[in-house]
Structure 1
Amino acid sequence: MTSLRCGRAFRLLASGAGAALVLSACMGGTTDDGKDAAAGYDPKANVEITWWTGQPQEQEKVAEQLAAEYHTAHPNVTIKVSPGAPTTDDLLTKLSAGFTAGSYPDISYAYGNWAGDLGASGKAQDLTSYVNDPSFQWNEMPAAAREVATTNGKVIGIPALVDNLALIYNKKLFDKAGLAYPTDNWSWDDFRAAAKKLTDKSTNQYGTAYSVSGSEDTTWHLWPMLWQHGGKILDGNKPAFNSDAGVAALETLRQIAVDDKSMYLDQTDEKYAPLFNSGHIGMMLSGPWALLELKEAKLVYGVVDLPGYNGDHQTVSGPDLWVLFDHQDVNRAGATRDFAKWLTSAEIDPKWNLAVGNLPLRTTEKDSPEFANYVKEYPGGQKFFDNLANAKQARPTLPGYEEMSRNVGDAIAKVLQGQAEPKAALDEAAKKSANSIGS
């Protein structure tokens, strides 16, 4: 998985977790004075902007090529390109330190679940008016991605990547077990029954898998199940995931893991995908980032919508962002906006996202030759693209989400390892999170 986004699949915040708290605690919220950071921008001014891509080596090469292409068309704009940090997960720590020292980039890659804390830093540009200009064609991007880019009513970033969770299954293992393949109409009861039949402890084969590291990978897999039951993550600034809907969602997972013992519990986030790719796990709830390694593994697989509850097959999307920062220089701000608009345009995005195996950002790209090549090269790519329509809600972008996520992740991990019951565990997580959201 790390070959696609250097760990992006799980939106981990291992080293950045503390940084998120530093951002919102030390910056004291937005310092926005209502003035447009790019007001008076001269598009002919000579400027240098810095771009932290957050990408591993191969993707970094593509970014450098695109920066050079932009510079050729705009010779007055020089773009300094770098990953910004050793891994994407380290970017938030680096940004936090840079805000304190006054040394931070003009544009940086950011996981969507950092949006609330970056918005509270007071360093991000307010892009609301900019993206709502008709020329930007903001509505071509999925609603969940646009929502994640918005915190406290302000757009502080532009979607860099869109994805979602679906059910990926190993056709060979289903054939071997004499099971019919999953469909888009599957219920969680169907999923549980298949997981049980696919499990064979004598060969270390499991029906499905789940992360119990307590990371965001642990947490965000629960959210679509919560939504399908009619629940909410928050009610205003108050945790609401410990409702009857949340308990019912977690109870389903507990039954598969504890009662049936047909769920492989991954303590690290990094083992279950390779185990699926090697034929030891029958079904995996994952996203389009998995397609590259599935291709390399030469696995015969299928992709369908997430199982649903009462016919609701909502999924969760984990959009990531290009966050644009304000350096009190209107020409740098304006040049950064123009570059980000160009990079995420329907004409250029295929050279970026589709070239590195990701879904396209814009609906209009579905008719591009690059997308036709993508779905041919990556079986399941079309399904993941279509599944964006099932991403009807977004994770909260309020400051403090990261802390809440870790509390929920720990609760899920305890339940799936038989150490707690769903209601008690979620109540404890809600209590721990009560004072962190929005602060």
Structure 2
Amino acid sequence: MKATSRRTAFLTTTALALTAAVVVTLTGCGSSQGATTLDKSAKVQLTMWTGQTEEAEKLVEKLAKEFEKDHPNVSIDVSPGASSTEDLLQKLSAGFAGNNYPDISYAFGAWASQLETSGRTLDITDRVSDPAVKWDEFSDAARKTVQPTGKKTIGFPAIVDNLSLLYNKTVFDKAGVAYPTADWTWDDFRDAAKKLTDAATETYGYAYSVSGSEETTWQFWPHLWQNGGEILNKDQNKATFNSAAGVNALTYLRDMAIDDKSVYLDQTDTKFAQLFASDRIGMITSGPWQLYDLKTAKTDYGVTTLPGTKGDHQTVSGPDIWALFDHKDKNRAYWSYQFTEWLTSAAQDERWNVAVGNLPLRSSEVDSPAFQAQVKAYPGLDIMAANSVNAKQARPTVPGYVGLSEAIGSAISNVLQGKGEPQSALDSAVKKSDQALSE
């Protein structure tokens, strides 16, 4: 699981920064004209960039060979596409400029709006509206990520995740605190965190990143959304997280960190998980990528949904996508769609995403023997899969998101360390975010 599943929500600054370069090069020359009428029996050569590690790559290659066997006129050249997933965006950018880009490519969700505005993606909205596709089996966040502007559907979800509440049973038992339930409110959570904290043993009830990275930022979004706040306005060109909802959310975290002293403030983004695994932190909010390490450490843990506000238990997800590209060739477009729909069907997803330890793409897979075998190996994975229904909103995929993330991440970090007040810190972050969104 550890070697093949990826922490999709964590987008590196380098990868995100490359989006600016894409905007410049996406407007290059158009692709040459291919088949203008569809011939389903015509020979077709497709190129697919998977962005995967070796084990997952081999599984995709195997599945592609099966598809080719069933469709002898179709040949699919499958490769990672680049030395790392992060490098795919730069490779796509260069490919657009030189008319040498794939038919299908893995892409971080944060790239979706740039890919759509390139004019090089296929729009498959009409096709996925077919009831046979069972589009509603994908989570709301996953569907929204492949529909970045709401005007086009540029591909299929590829990998999904979400934040759930993980709790250390050893820490809870030692403190005599009842385990969290799916009905917990944030008041319940705060009360438990205080009881779990023990200064004498340097044990904390909760942990939060103060690195200022996307780790800091995306952990904040469920608090904002559950309080009724929004990251951006409807036009997605102005930040709105300094609303009363945002201030209330940040004040809550500040009070836990400074007044209660129940939060371990992590400067590294990695130490908190290690401390949780070694019974020094009672609760963390994390995802499926964490379970391998907990199993290895033999940590006695449990998983449930995030605490809620007035029954709202929204979480945040970091979906990645299979983007489909237009080569002005109806045959290539047809078979690109057919293969990707087949690959993301429940039957095939169980043999790829589920097989490598990722959450299933579709809700219909949760009860499958394949996924239940993974749940047995990694307890709590089923809770995380069910939690996908709480992933109702997608993080923005606008070009200025990296600047926005840095701005609010810095604000959150400062406030939690006693270096500012929630309202003024968020106001300042909004000004910086709006500047990033306008560039």
Normalized against structure 1, the TM-score is what? 0.91
Question: Aligned partners of 2:102, 2:410: CA distance in 1, in Å?
Answer: 33
Does the CA contact (< 8 Å) of 2:366 and 2:382 recur in 1? Answer: no
Determine the structure 1 residue equivalent to 2:50: 53
Question: Aligned partners of 1:311, 1:173: CA distance in 2, in Å?
Answer: 27
Determine the structure 2 residue equivalent to 1:161: 159
Range moving further from structure 2, 322-331 or 81-90: 81-90
Q: CA 1:422–1:125 in structure 2 vs 1: closer, same or farther (change >3 Å)?
A: same
Selected match of 1:74 from 62, 71, 76: 71
Determine the structure 2 residue equivalent to 1:213: 211
Does the CA contact (< 8 Å) of 2:52 and 2:85 recur in 1? Answer: yes
Question: Aligned partners of 2:131, 2:162: CA distance in 1, in Å?
Answer: 27
Does the CA contact (< 8 Å) of 1:167 and 1:305 recur in 2? Answer: yes
Range moving further from structure 2, 306-315 or 100-109: 100-109
Determine the structure 1 residue equivalent to 2:371: 371
* Structure 2 residue matching 1:108: 3-state secondary structure: strand
Question: Aligned partners of 1:90, 1:418: CA distance in 2, in Å?
Answer: 38
Measured after TM superposition, the shift of residue 28 of structure 1 is: 5.9
Question: Aligned partners of 2:35, 2:179: CA distance in 1, in Å?
Answer: 53
Question: Aligned partners of 1:132, 1:245: CA distance in 2, in Å?
Answer: 35
Measured after TM superposition, the shift of residue 324 of structure 1 is: 1.1
Measured after TM superposition, the shift of residue 22 of structure 1 is: 2.1
Measured after TM superposition, the shift of residue 289 of structure 1 is: 2.5
Q: How many residues align?
A: 435
* Structure 2 residue matching 1:5: 3-state secondary structure: coil
Determine the structure 2 residue equivalent to 1:358: 358
Measured after TM superposition, the shift of residue 341 of structure 1 is: 0.6
* Structure 2 residue matching 1:50: 3-state secondary structure: strand
1:333 aligns with 2:333: yes
* Structure 2 residue matching 1:48: 3-state secondary structure: strand
- Residue type of the partner of 2:22? L
Range moving further from structure 2, 409-418 or 199-208: 199-208
Q: CA 1:25–1:196 in structure 2 vs 1: closer, same or farther (change >3 Å)?
A: farther
Q: CA 1:324–1:176 in structure 2 vs 1: closer, same or farther (change >3 Å)?
A: same
Measured after TM superposition, the shift of residue 242 of structure 1 is: 0.8
Measured after TM superposition, the shift of residue 304 of structure 1 is: 1.2
Measured after TM superposition, the shift of residue 438 of structure 1 is: 7.8
Measured after TM superposition, the shift of residue 430 of structure 1 is: 1.2
Determine the structure 2 residue equivalent to 1:395: 395
Does the CA contact (< 8 Å) of 1:148 and 1:397 recur in 2? Answer: yes
Listed one character per residue, the Cα deviations across residues 164-190 of structure 1 (whole Å, up to 9, x for unaligned) are 211000101110111111111222222
1:186 aligns with 2:184: yes
1:18-417 aligned at under 5 Å gives the runs: 18-27=17-26, 40-152=37-149, 153-236=151-234, 237=236, 238-417=238-417
Q: CA 1:206–1:431 in structure 2 vs 1: closer, same or farther (change >3 Å)?
A: same
Q: CA 1:205–1:97 in structure 2 vs 1: closer, same or farther (change >3 Å)?
A: farther
Does the CA contact (< 8 Å) of 1:2 and 1:9 recur in 2? Answer: no
Question: Aligned partners of 1:244, 1:410: CA distance in 2, in Å?
Answer: 19
Question: Aligned partners of 1:9, 1:262: CA distance in 2, in Å?
Answer: 29
Structure 2 portions without partners, runs of 5+: none
* Structure 2 residue matching 1:154: 3-state secondary structure: coil
Question: Aligned partners of 1:120, 1:255: CA distance in 2, in Å?
Answer: 42
Measured after TM superposition, the shift of residue 361 of structure 1 is: 1.5
Measured after TM superposition, the shift of residue 333 of structure 1 is: 2.2
Measured after TM superposition, the shift of residue 244 of structure 1 is: 0.7
Question: Aligned partners of 2:55, 2:274: CA distance in 1, in Å?
Answer: 21
Measured after TM superposition, the shift of residue 323 of structure 1 is: 0.8
What is the percentage of aligned positions where both structures have the same residue? 56
Measured after TM superposition, the shift of residue 272 of structure 1 is: 2.5
Q: CA 1:41–1:368 in structure 2 vs 1: closer, same or farther (change >3 Å)?
A: farther
Q: CA 1:285–1:39 in structure 2 vs 1: closer, same or farther (change >3 Å)?
A: farther
Q: CA 1:164–1:69 in structure 2 vs 1: closer, same or farther (change >3 Å)?
A: same
Measured after TM superposition, the shift of residue 56 of structure 1 is: 1.9
RMSD: 2.6
Question: Aligned partners of 1:109, 1:209: CA distance in 2, in Å?
Answer: 32
* Structure 2 residue matching 1:104: 3-state secondary structure: coil
